[in-house]
Amino acid sequence: MPQRLDYLIETASQTAGPYVHIGLAPGAAGFSIFGQELGQTIAAPEVPGERIRVEGLVLDGTGAPVRDALLEVWQADAAGIYPHPEDPRHAEVHPGFRGWGRIITDFDTGLWSFETVRPGPVPGRPGAVQAPHISVWLVARGINIGLNTRIYFPEDAALHAADPVLSMIEQRHRAATLVAARTGPGAYRFDIRLQGDGETVFLDI
Amino acid sequence: MKPAAYFQRNRDIHPPALARGYKSSIPRSPRQALLSIDQTISEITGPAFGHGDIGPLDHDLIRNFATTGDPVGSRIIVHGHVRDENGRPVPGTLVEVWQANASGRYRHRKDTYFGALDPNFGGCGRTITDENGYYVFRTVKPGPYPWRNHVNSWRPAHIHLSVFGRAFCQRLITQMYFEGDPLIPLCPIVRTIPDPAAIDRLIAPLDLNASIPLDSLAYRFDIVLRGRRSTLFENRLEGN
């Protein structure tokens, strides 16, 4: 017998279920309990940058909107800096910029939306940049392990060709599933298709 | 310099997206392969939380919603450590929980089960791990409840847990079950996990040493998040 590796093993995921709101967004479940719910403000109004609003649906394999999903987003600020100690420039981030938000779908329509500042490009491999993007993590009843994807912006098409994620998508037409559609000044639409025609590219990060 | 990556996720111990016994997964599971990417700064960073984000009673589900008295049910303590796969503690990380009450009823506008709501029980809590990665909640033991998967399907008693870690790629939601519950092996959601040992690690044992005599039983639930590689040496960057 060789020596034994003594790593621990990651705890297995289980679905967030239909009542995820109780734990992560109790106001949506129908009651008030905490002094403040987390993840409601990604970028306070005084944070520098272009204000944007992103909305969309999560659609299941039959084309129906998923009305009990919860999304979390994580992004850099307008200068491309993450408010995290491992970003070498994190001390420059405005104190009103959290970079993280929690978004739930409407129980009737399935529509979700959030407001933030448009992120800047962030570093990729040494010497390279990644196109501006917002990272997304999606959970719901019927989703056994959180799904990761990214939201990119159509204005940055020139940076998309060299982006380390977009450029790795083998079926080129599927890269479009990660690019939001501009619907007006500072307004974007990003529908997430869990399955079937136009299935969103999900990432193993 | 390229940041040190987290260990690749071992998908064999996690449920696959499509698990036919759990019917809701059928229309909600991607059919295409996940795109495996090299981690970048976007994945190895993540939100940070501090004690300013939470209140002093948030971890006490017996008190954090009660108005006229304590909630009904078996009083329990749920505690454990959050560690990474290297066995290192994960301090200062947010742990959120939610659960049904002792009747198996959730305080949620969409839950229509006729198990009684408890006016003194909200069913959610949150805390931040200490410098050793330790967390503790006080609550009542949740009841099992019926659900519409197959006819006469029942969920074992469970508590949902959400954990952040330090990086967006460590984000995890899971469910904790209770030692000795005969409904565990029958549950289609438990059975989405292909590895029996991974299921066992979701079952919290009774921890009599941590219970409070004449007050509360205790269950212990340790959580493991993805570990991380050591920082790479500069001259080994190529090919890593």
A195 with B98: Cβ contact below 8 A = no
Burial profile A104-142: b = 16 or more Cβ within 10 angstroms, e = fewer = bbeeeebebebebbbbebbbbeeeebbbbbbbbbbbbbb
Domain chopping of chain A, boundaries: 38-193
A125 with B53: Cβ contact below 8 A = no
- Least confident among A36-40, B53-57, B179-183, B234-238: B234-238
> How much is the average pLDDT of B5-17?
97
**B120 interfaces chain A, CB cutoff of 8 Å:** no
pLDDT digit string (tens) for A88-143? Answer: 999 999 999 999 999 999 999 999 999 999 999 999 988 899 999 999 999 999 99
For residue B234, is pLDDT > 80? no
Q: The domain B48-224: what is its CATH number?
A: 2.60.130.10
Residues of B in contact with A33 (CB under 8 A): 64-65, 122, 124
> How much is the average pLDDT of A177-189?
98
Instruction: Give the pLDDT confidence score for residue A95 in this predicted structure.
Output: 97
pLDDT digit string (tens) for B85-123? Answer: 999 999 999 999 999 999 999 999 999 999 999 999 999
Q: Are B121 and B140 in contact (CB under 8 A)?
A: yes
Instruction: Give the pLDDT confidence score for residue B240 in this predicted structure.
Output: 39
DSSP E strand stretches across chain A: 51-56, 58-59, 70-75, 100-104, 112-117, 122-123, 129-130, 133-139, 147-152, 181-184, 187-189, 192-193, 203-204
pLDDT digit string (tens) for A75-86? Answer: 999 999 999 999
B107 with A141: Cβ contact below 8 A = no
> Would you say the C-alpha torsion B133, B134, B138, B144 has a positive or negative sign?
positive
Q: The domain A38-193: what is its CATH number?
A: 2.60.130.10
Instruction: Give the pLDDT confidence score for residue B239 in this predicted structure.
Output: 44
Mutation to test the A interface, candidates B173, B223, B229, B237, most A Cβ within 10 Å:
B173
B37 with A7: Cβ contact below 8 A = no
Provide ipTM, 2 decimals.
Answer: 0.96
For residue B216, is pLDDT > 60? yes
Instruction: Give the pLDDT confidence score for residue A126 in this predicted structure.
Output: 84
The answer to whether B155 is a known catalytic residue is yes
Nearest CA in chain A to B31: A195
The answer to whether B145 is a known catalytic residue is yes
pLDDT digit string (tens) for A17-70? Answer: 999 999 999 999 999 999 899 999 999 999 999 999 999 999 999 999 999 999
**B128 interfaces chain A, CB cutoff of 8 Å:** no
> How much is the average pLDDT of B4-10?
95
The answer to whether B134 is a known catalytic residue is no
What does the alpha-carbon distance between residue A41 and residue A92 come to, in Å, rounded to a whole number?
Answer: 19
- For residue B125, count CB atoms less than 10 angstroms from its CB and return exposed for 0-12, middle for 13-18, buried for 19 or more: buried
C-alpha pair distances (Å), A4 with each of A1, A75, B228, B230: 8, 39, 19, 20
Residues of A in contact with B122 (CB under 8 A): 22, 26, 31, 33
pLDDT digit string (tens) for B179-190? Answer: 999 999 999 999
> How much is the average pLDDT of B206-217?
98
Interface A-B: count of C-beta contacts within 8 A: 265
The answer to whether B106 is a known catalytic residue is yes
Smallest Cβ distance to A204: which of B2, B35, B202? B35
